[in-house]
Structure 1
Amino acid sequence: MAAPSEAPWSVPGSAPAERTPPWRYAIGMFGISIPINFIKGSIVLLYVDTLGMDVRAYAAVMAVYAVIDALDNPLLGHLSDRTRSRFGRRRPWLMIGAPLLAASMIALFSPPDLDGTALVLWFAVFAILSELFDSMLNANYGALLPELFPSERRRGLANALRQAFQLVAMIISLALTPVLTTSLLGSEHGTEGFPRTALAYAVLAVTVIWAMTLGVREDPATQHEERPRLVSAIGQILRTRLFWGVGLTSACYGAALAIVLSGVQLYVRHWLGLPVAYAFALQGIVILVAAGGLFLWLRLVVRIGALRTWRIAFLVLAGAFGLLYLAGSLPAALAAGAVLGLGWAGMMATNDLVVARVLDRDAARHRLHREGLFLSAFGVFGRLNGAVSGLALASLGALFGYYSGEHPGPEPGQAFRVYLCVYPFVLCTLGAIAARFVSVPSPEESAAAAAGEETAR
């Protein structure tokens, strides 16, 4: 029986939190973030604005993938939970998933000379494969957080460190990418810079992910647990109110972020009227402020808890998009970007901690470690972000006449002003309202409740 101060999966003597230093686990976020942020940040620029693929085709592909992902995400997580090997449950999937994601990303950014339906099919196949392997990596990497670091204080440190590594990755994969693809390795309206950049990022990502995976040590006690059953486990998850409350609320943040990542370069090109390379400045200020604010938010988490801090961060993020809408020049956009970075840091510092609390509660109630399935189920909400951003992009055709870089319509600037500012503002406002009605017990509270239930038996 776990003591009230321990997490539900703590095993006396195993001390999983002491087996892996937080920094060693956290560095994996750098490798995982590089590919997916490059994809999200540059895919619209390459396929829609440069190659001329219709935004409606882009939206259709994202919608189809949302359906596919709703099926494969839980299955991937369940397979991870059921894995029993001398290397652990999560590590084999991380070792396999890294090169698969790297290969699909390179293919995605290296389309042959295609147009029309052929271009859409190439995009669909490799966009879906990239998202699939990203799901595999994230489900297994995220499942390690609550297992390796049972207390919320130590978990918060590990999460803050991994988010810091994510920000470093974003400086490269988002802020530096426009310079690489359109200047150093390519040209403003050419495509040759994209495959070169993808290859460099692939090598970097695989190296870091493998180094992290070989360095973490999973809790050996989980190897002896009963293997969860898929149908009953999914049924229990779907009947969990916290799953729906936290999942839908987090999806508001995730969808807003997906829109920002895909639209910032086009916001700079069409609304601010500047070369795409200037996105480096806007993305850079957001990331630098986020890096500076991350550990300030962590201090707030320690003082008032992850849940209350999460609610405050939603409000700051929503306000930032309002300011960005009012910006009409690069200096004004940079000022708004600083506020955006602050709000974003708050969400990075808290969102995963709130999700981890749901995993704590599930483990305490059902005596099973099925973090992979649970996180993959949460990932279904996250993967709907692509469908939401796709629909938002498709709406620009109906509202402003923007269908592609070849058919931009009369107001492409206003189109991407709405895309980057109004849609995320609405989503974050909805998230802030919903977060007020979400209540999730801390790891210590879940452990105490489990101890009380065990005593009652």
Structure 2
Amino acid sequence: MTEAMGTRATAPWRYAIGMFGTSIPINMIKGSMILYYVDILGLDVRAYAVVMVIYAVMDAIDNPILGYLSDRTRTRFGRRRPWLMIGAPLLAACMIAFFSAPASLDGLGLVLWFAVFAILCEAFDSMLNANYGALLPELYPTERRRAVANGLRQGFQLVALVISLALTPLLTTSVFGTENTTVGFTTTAIIYGSIAVAVIWFMALSARENPRYSTLVRPPLWSSIGSIVRNPLFWKVGLIGACYGIAMAIVLAGLQLYVKYSLGLPVAMALYLQAAVIVVAAAGLVGWTRLVARWGALRTWRLAFAVLALSFVALFFAFDLVSAICAGALVGIGWSGMLATNDLIVVRVLDADAETNGEHREGLFLSAFGFFGRLNSIVTGLALASLALFFGYESGDAPGSDPGMAFRVYLCAYPLVFTTVGAIAARFLQVPEPPADRADAEGPPEDAPPVRVEGES
């Protein structure tokens, strides 16, 4: 089977590098928002939780609309590229504003600033990721090629994570600022935003959309949404994937404060723990991608889920930086497996929908899956608010009597529960193979002429 009949194939690395650009802004936001707003600026965790719930509701509404508009877009530049070109600078600008809260703000003013720019950042991130993710099944119809492209893009994401997570605490608290000031966050956000725009634009201009996917038929909104929500696979894959997403969102949000309170170390030392997790995850992508080629995405995904769940037990009992790094390496192995497989499971659902309904509406479908991603924000916020109830942690100004145990529970116990549920549920899930793979297995029709795609790489 060819990658895209009638159009020159896009080299996997050109598509994959886009993940580097889309990952830097949102991971700085999610990885530093609690430290910036709660621990430094003094935003109450209960206000944080309320904003996260509102933000999730708003995002659940705008996600399908953004995906629907993308699927209906018809331009000479394609369906997805215009949205990527517009969304990148908008996200960068909102991220800079998010980390530039005026020093005079407090109380309701601080809450409103946090809420407005958190919601805008998530909306523009959703715009980017719905369109970027929709290109994967279009550019690479077979699972083997998808696994290569996905492995490469997850590798680029991990490089971005080294920068936006592991390096950020050092830049914000030591290079450009201090542990008790915010100026370092603004400077870092400007640098990251500029890099993200340049990379996303390069990827968007390099990707060659397949005109066969952009038909004259424009899928209607409500009937499309109705058929999606009636699809049992949508709910099964979405809810199981949410267990993984929620766990990693909690880890992303709380790691810096886990280092500060649970390990009793300066926040800048989070660099070493984050770097260890990311380096192990990056190294593991090669092995997991090969396992996908041998076992298929579904079986490999189930194994990765189980490994990730077990890793949080070790992290709970870490008592210093060395033991935390060792436990973090286990997290990296399981996380690497999920990175290599989770999107492949989601894309199988998109393939099945297109085959059944005869319409390529990847943007709307991925945006609908974004509904489950919004659960990450709600649960992360509620989990943080629970620390006030169980441990008395309200903010950096009122950390309670045992913030160390509070963030040990937050970072390890909560993710353990979610990933265990997901790993068990994944054992019972069945998803169809991609149509292109089935066609390859069956072989071409006897009278089918050979098809050659120029520029195959």
With the length of structure 2 as denominator, give the TM-score of the two structures.
Answer: 0.95
Which residue of the other structure, out of 47, 72, 88, is the alignment partner of 1:82?
A: 72
CA–CA separation in structure 2 for the residues paired with 1:182 and 1:445: 50
Distance across 1 between alignment mates of 2:436 and 2:46: 48
Give the secondary structure class of the aligned counterpart of 1:141.
helix
Shift of 1:190: 1.2
For residues 278 and 228 of structure 2, the distance between their equivalents in structure 1, rounded to whole angstroms, comes to 35
Partner of 1:19, secondary structure, is coil
Counterpart pick for 2:329 among 317, 328, 338: 338
- Which of 29, 33, 47 is the aligned partner of 2:23? 33
Q: Which residue of 2 aligns with 1:65?
A: 55
1:199 maps to what in 2? Answer: 190
Within 2, Cα distance between the matches of 1:384 and 1:117? 25
The answer to whether residue 71 in structure 2 is matched with residue 47 in structure 1 is no
- Structure 2 counterpart of 1:296: 287
1:355 corresponds, among 340, 346, 353, to 346
Residue 445 of structure 1, CA deviation = 7.2
- Shift of the 418–57 alpha-carbon distance from structure 1 to 2, 3 Å rule, reads same
* CA deviation string 1:30-65 (max 9, x = no partner): 000000000010000000011110000000000011
Q: Does 1:189 align with 2:194?
A: no
Which of 408, 421, 424 is the matching residue for 2:415?
424
Q: CA offsets, 1:389-415, max 9 Å, x none? A: 000000000000000000000011110
Q: Which amino acid is the alignment partner of residue 234 of structure 1?
A: I
Asked if 1:159 corresponds to 2:159, the answer is no
Question: For residues 200 and 251 of structure 1, what CA distance do their matches in structure 2 show?
Answer: 31
Is structure 2 residue 197 aligned with structure 1 residue 213? Answer: no
| Distance (whole Å) between structure 2 residues aligned to residue 79 and residue 115 of structure 1 | 38
| 1:228 positional shift | 0.4
Checking the alignment, whether the CA contact within 8 Å between 1:360 and 1:446 is kept in structure 2 is: no
> Do the aligned partners of 1:93 and 1:137 also contact (CA within 8 Å) in 2?
yes
Q: Give CA-to-partner distance per residue, 1:42-90, whole Å, 9 cap, x none.
A: 0000000111100000000000111111111001000000000000000
Root-mean-square deviation over aligned CA pairs: 1.4
Q: Which residue of 1 aligns with 2:393?
A: 402
Q: Is the 8 A contact 1:255 1:389 kept in 2?
A: yes
Give the number of equivalent residue pairs: 440
2:57–2:374 Cα contact (<8 Å) kept:
no
Kindly provide the CA deviation profile for residues 284-313 of structure 1, in whole angstroms up to 9, marking residues without a partner as x.
000000010001000110111001100100
The answer to whether the 8 Å contact 1:102/1:202 transfers is: yes
Q: Which runs of 4+ in 1 moved over 2 A?
A: 222-225, 444-449
For 1:267, give the aligned amino acid. Answer: Y
**Residue pairs, 1:254-269, within 5 angstroms:** 254-269=245-260
Q: Distance in 1 between matches of 2:117 and 2:243?
A: 26
More divergent stretch after superposition (218-227 vs 283-292)? 218-227
Aligned to 1:104: 94
**Take 1:128 and 1:137, find their aligned partners in 2: how far apart are those partners?**
14
- Describe the SS at the equivalent of 1:224: coil
Residues 364 and 447 of structure 1 are in contact (CA less than 8 Å); yes or no, is this contact kept in structure 2?
A: no
1:379 and 2:370 matched:
yes
| Separation in structure 2 between the aligned mates of residue 365 and residue 28 of structure 1, nearest angstrom | 30
Aligned to 2:14: 24
Change (3 A) 1:64 1:446: farther
Percent identity at matched positions? 66
**Quick check: 2:316–2:408 contact (8 Å CA) kept in 1?**
yes
Task: Return the offset for 1:328.
Answer: 0.9
1:169 and 1:446 map into 2 onto residues whose CA distance is 31
Q: Report what 1:116 is aligned to.
A: 107
Secondary structure, aligned partner of 2:284: helix
Matches of 2:212 and 2:439, distance apart in 1: 20
Determine if contact 1:401/1:410 at 8 Å carries over to the other structure.
yes
- Return the letter of the residue paired with 2:244: Y
Q: Who is 1:246 aligned against?
A: 237
Deviation string, structure 1 residues 358-395 (Cα, Å, up to 9, x no partner): 00000100110000000000011012201110000000
| Cα distance per residue 1:152-174 (max 9 Å; x no partner) | 00010000000000000000000
AA partner of residue 166 (structure 1) = Q
Aligned to 1:327: 318
Between 1:137-146 and 1:214-223, the stretch displaced more is 214-223
2:265 alignment counterpart? 274
Residue 454 (structure 1) aligns with: none
Residue 20 of structure 1 aligns with an amino acid whose one-letter code is T
Q: Is the 8 A contact 1:361 1:446 kept in 2?
A: no
Does 2:395 match 1:415?
Answer: no
Matched with 2:131 is: 140
SS of equivalent to 2:432: coil
Q: Provide, for residues 211-263 of structure 1, a one-character-per-residue CA deviation record: whole Å limited to 9, x for no partner.
A: 11011100012233411011110010001010000000000111111100110
Structure 1 unaligned blocks of 5 or more:
452-457
Give the Cα separation in 2 of the matches to 1:51 and 1:115.
Answer: 8
SS of 2:341's equivalent?
helix
Instruction: Choose the corresponding residue for 1:130, options 121, 124, 144.
Output: 121
Residue segments in structure 2 that go unaligned for 5+ positions in a row: 443-457
Does structure 2 retain, via aligned residues, the 8 Å contact 1:225–1:368? no
- Please report how far the alpha carbon of residue 19 of structure 1 lies from its aligned counterpart in structure 2 after TM superposition: 1.9
Taking the aligned partners of 1:436 and 1:71, their CA distance within structure 2 comes to 31
Equivalent residues of 2:143, 2:437 under 8 A apart: no
State the SS of the aligned residue for 1:339.
helix
